[in-house]
A = this chain, B = another copy of it.
Amino acid sequence: MEEEGEKVVSSAQLANECIVNAATVRKDLNYFGEFGTRGEGYDVKDLLYEIKRVLGLNKEWRIAVIGIGNLGSSLLAYKDFLKQNYRIVAAFDIDPPKVIGRVSEKLGKPVEVLHISRIKEVVKERKIQIGLITTPASEVQAVANLLVEAKVRGILNFAPAQITVPKGYVVKDVFFTTILDNLAYLLSNI
């Protein structure tokens, strides 16, 4: 709506886009503050700003990818991240041939793949807040430990193994098998 130049949006319009009811939209937004004006609706720019603030999307997140195989390489080249202020600013691997220089051409400048041993120093230098782990499952806890040691508070784990981190750190798992399980369940019930 902002791109289309619209200034104001009603809860009914938002409800329609989200396929929920207008009262739910008002109640949910109200939970985070008084964003709208009764009878007029929400200012599009203000509402966008507030939602981004609530979701933690009003700033740049600086990201490292650890494990530059096929999956790691695809994440380095994942253009959609840039829309949302996700910037991959470092890439690490343990395997020397890969360390030489697989790069992401899609980002402003290529990201050089560094040896994993440099992670602590580079995290500090480049202010990295999120690590994407795409190593084999056997390595993922060791990598998570390195990230914790470097005080990287957010981890997205693509390796099919559970990891544990101390309090104050957040892990989200992306287990492709679990996602397929979900699809298989839905397919078994249509």
Contacts and interface: CB of A to CB of B under 8 A. Distances in A.
A180 B61 contact: yes
How many monomers of this protein are in the complex? 2
A81 B153 contact: no
Contact of A156 (B86, B129, B183, B190): B183
Interface stretch (A89-97, A113-121, A170-178): A170-178
B177 A156 contact: no
Contact of A84 (B78, B154, B180, B187): B180
Nearest to A86: B180
B179 A156 contact: yes
Contact of A177 (B84, B180, B187): B84
Residues of A in contact with B, size category:
35 or more
B181 A55 contact: yes
A187 B174 contact: no
A188 interface: yes
22 contacts: A54-B185, A56-B185, A56-B187, A56-B189, A69-B74, A70-B70, A70-B73, A70-B74, A74-B74, A75-B176, A83-B177, A84-B181, A130-B184, A153-B190, A154-B186, A156-B180, A156-B183, A170-B186, A172-B179, A174-B174, A174-B176, A174-B179
